Structure 1
Amino acid sequence: MGNASRAAIVSDRRITGLSADLIAGLVAELDPLWHERHQARLASRPRKRAVGAGAKHRLVLVDRRPAPPLVHLRHATTHDVPACWFDVDRSTVTRAIGEARPLLAERGRTVSPGLRPRTPAEVIDHLGADGKTGIIDSTEIRVRRPAAGRRDRDRSISGKNKQNAVRTMVVTDGDGRVLFCRPTSPGSCADITHARRLGLVELLADGPAMAILADAGYQGLGAQTGGRMITPPHRKFKKNAPDRYEEMYERRRKAHSSRRTRVEHGIAHLENWRALTRHLGRREHMSHTVQAVAGPLSHQQTADLASARPM
């Protein structure tokens, strides 16, 4: 494949999901990290030949990291497709994806050029310092069913959609920008259990004054977090409710739902990366895959928001 064709693949946002400028920044950032880990891996075992001997990479830097992983994550293609595009063997693309995925996952979510929250505590501190409201929700990603006879085979079955899935919790700001994605858990785990296992209750109760909007799946956490977790109003009457109460309840419920709409937009942007629509690979890679998508996506969202705001 010629240089012009490769440049067209890398620069087309429809293919990689990122602008050419952001890809260039990723290359400059990931290159020293990859070399450092590569050299440490080579020096960690006894060798019969010198470091650096043997076959060299056929992919140039921008093609090797991170273009094939971005193409794979964006479109959920088999490894044969980017291998055909870049005129290399499938095993070369598989190795490139395996090398770049953890590097992309560890970048964190970009809020500003110098700020990348990586933990829930950092996200809460950021929202509290800026006086912003966070929005939280969970999403499910379909996965392959575990083999028959495997232990805990039924743990991945979602009680909501009755399908094999893993679940991740997403936190966005008021602009729908992804701030945090929790490592995946089995689909049978409830939303409120996710929040408790993550330590979100303690972080909110002891953290700065702020608000987190959540849906009915998190009801009960408002009292435990000092009112910082805001959920839809409880329904006091299950039947034979007065008309006045029904009108007030619906008005409050719709007002809360409209404020939470941005998190649905953020989840939709995540699922535009087809690797998070239905994952056909190994389930052990799902947590890294979610993080690897959320990091570059938030970086692109931050760049788009900065260009859209008037100077």
Structure 2
Amino acid sequence: MSSAWARAACSQHALSGVSRAHLGELIEELASMWQAAHESALHERRGGERRRAAGAGPDHRFVFVDRVLVTLVVLRLGLPHAALAQMYGVDRSTISGAVREVRPLLAARGFPVPDRPGLRLRTLEDLFAYADAEGVDMRIDGTDVQVRRPRAHRPGRKAFVSGKRKQNTIKTTTFCDTQDRTLFSGVTRPGRMHDQTAVHSEGIAEQFRRHPKVKAEVDEGYRGLANEFPKQVSAPPKKGEAGRPARRSIRLA
């Protein structure tokens, strides 16, 4: 398959989740950030200033536009890197490298707040401060994304094995409002780590202590959080528990 065909396919809204008009603005915004990070990495690798003029050396076969597109598709649909590599006719490691480069740039932009143009949530602290100030109730859930199994004999190799999915995954904690509009996502950990363990290591429990007015709904995996903050966090009734109406499951946007 040609890279032009793959680029046209990945730029479709159904795959990237971004309109063409917004995609152009996004690429223009991220390009300078990526170039600065790229030059910084080259400077560190060289141990000093460049010795040749800018533009010298091998050309990037996988251009920046394609790097952004494959990252958006991976984040939206969780497609295997090997599948995208087949579409573009490149090695799987090229796709993985692109995602590692672009994902932090997207995270640094933050998440837009619904109905509040110009306001973005960049950290967990921003999220809870916003929910506290605006009286926004949240829903919290963890999502699994399958990843390539780390090579043998690498430290922490088993940490990515999800007992629930029986696959190598990373988990991302996602927060949305009661209308299922995503407010924040990106707090990641290895798939083996339980949701309840993550709420303390990620600082979620600490944020509930700092903001006692913030309320949230969670699924069964976060029942420990509901037990710790019964006035703020609500979980669905346990199986077989009578007298309590069942809550609808959390659906992330």
* 1:81 has 2:87 as partner: yes
Q: Which amino acid aligns with 1:113?
A: P
SS of equivalent residue, structure 2 residue 179 = coil
Q: Which amino acid aligns with 1:211?
A: K
Equivalenced residue count is: 242
Question: Structure 1 CA distance, aligned partners of 2:92 and 2:52?
Answer: 23
For residue 193 of structure 1, the aligned residue among 179, 190, 197 is 197
Shift of 1:97: 4.9
* 1:38 has 2:38 as partner: yes
Q: Percent identity?
A: 33
Q: Which amino acid aligns with 1:29?
A: E
The answer to whether the 8 Å contact 1:205/1:228 transfers is no
For residue 131 of structure 2, the aligned residue among 127, 130, 133 is 127
Question: Structure 1 CA distance, aligned partners of 2:99 and 2:139?
Answer: 31
The answer to whether the 8 Å contact 2:107/2:186 transfers is no
* 1:113 has 2:113 as partner: no
Alignment of 1:266-277 (within 5 A): 266=253
Going by fraction, where is helix more abundant, 1 or 2? 1
Question: Structure 2 CA distance, aligned partners of 1:7 and 1:140?
Answer: 26
Q: Which amino acid aligns with 1:167?
A: K
1:32/1:149 CA distance change after superposition, 3 Å: closer
Question: Structure 2 CA distance, aligned partners of 1:5 and 1:166?
Answer: 30
1:202/1:67 CA distance change after superposition, 3 Å: closer
Going by fraction, where is strand more abundant, 1 or 2? 2
Match of 1:264 in 2: 251
The answer to whether the 8 Å contact 2:6/2:88 transfers is no
Shift of 1:64: 4.5
Larger RCO: 1 or 2 (CA < 8 Å, sep 6+)? 1
Question: Structure 2 CA distance, aligned partners of 1:15 and 1:113?
Answer: 25
The answer to whether the 8 Å contact 1:136/1:213 transfers is yes
1:224/1:27 CA distance change after superposition, 3 Å: same
Question: Structure 2 CA distance, aligned partners of 1:133 and 1:59?
Answer: 42
Question: Structure 1 CA distance, aligned partners of 2:214 and 2:21?
Answer: 34
The answer to whether the 8 Å contact 2:141/2:174 transfers is yes
Question: Structure 1 CA distance, aligned partners of 2:168 and 2:67?
Answer: 32
Q: Which amino acid aligns with 1:20?
A: R
Provide, for residues 112-165 of structure 1, a one-character-per-residue CA deviation record: whole Å limited to 9, x for no partner: 432221222211111122211101122223334444554444333333334433
The answer to whether the 8 Å contact 2:212/2:232 transfers is no
1:78/1:39 CA distance change after superposition, 3 Å: same
Q: Which is higher, the Rg of structure 1 or of structure 2?
A: 1
- TM-score normalised to structure 2 length: 0.75
Provide, for residues 165-196 of structure 1, a one-character-per-residue CA deviation record: whole Å limited to 9, x for no partner: 33222211112122222433233322111111
Any gaps of 5 or more consecutive residues in structure 1? 84-88, 239-244, 267-311
Match of 1:22 in 2: 22
Any gaps of 5 or more consecutive residues in structure 2? none
The answer to whether the 8 Å contact 2:10/2:73 transfers is no
Provide, for residues 225-247 of structure 1, a one-character-per-residue CA deviation record: whole Å limited to 9, x for no partner: 36212223467xx7xxxxxx83x
Question: Structure 1 CA distance, aligned partners of 2:176 and 2:136?
Answer: 11
Q: Which amino acid aligns with 2:252?
A: H
Q: Which amino acid aligns with 1:82?
A: Y
Match of 1:49 in 2: 52
Shift of 1:10: 6.8
* 1:213 has 2:217 as partner: yes
Question: Structure 1 CA distance, aligned partners of 2:197 and 2:9?
Answer: 42
- TM-score normalised to structure 1 length: 0.63
SS of equivalent residue, structure 1 residue 164 = strand
The answer to whether the 8 Å contact 1:170/1:182 transfers is yes
Question: Structure 1 CA distance, aligned partners of 2:59 and 2:148?
Answer: 35
How big is the alpha-carbon RMSD for the aligned residues of Structure 1 and Structure 2? 3.6
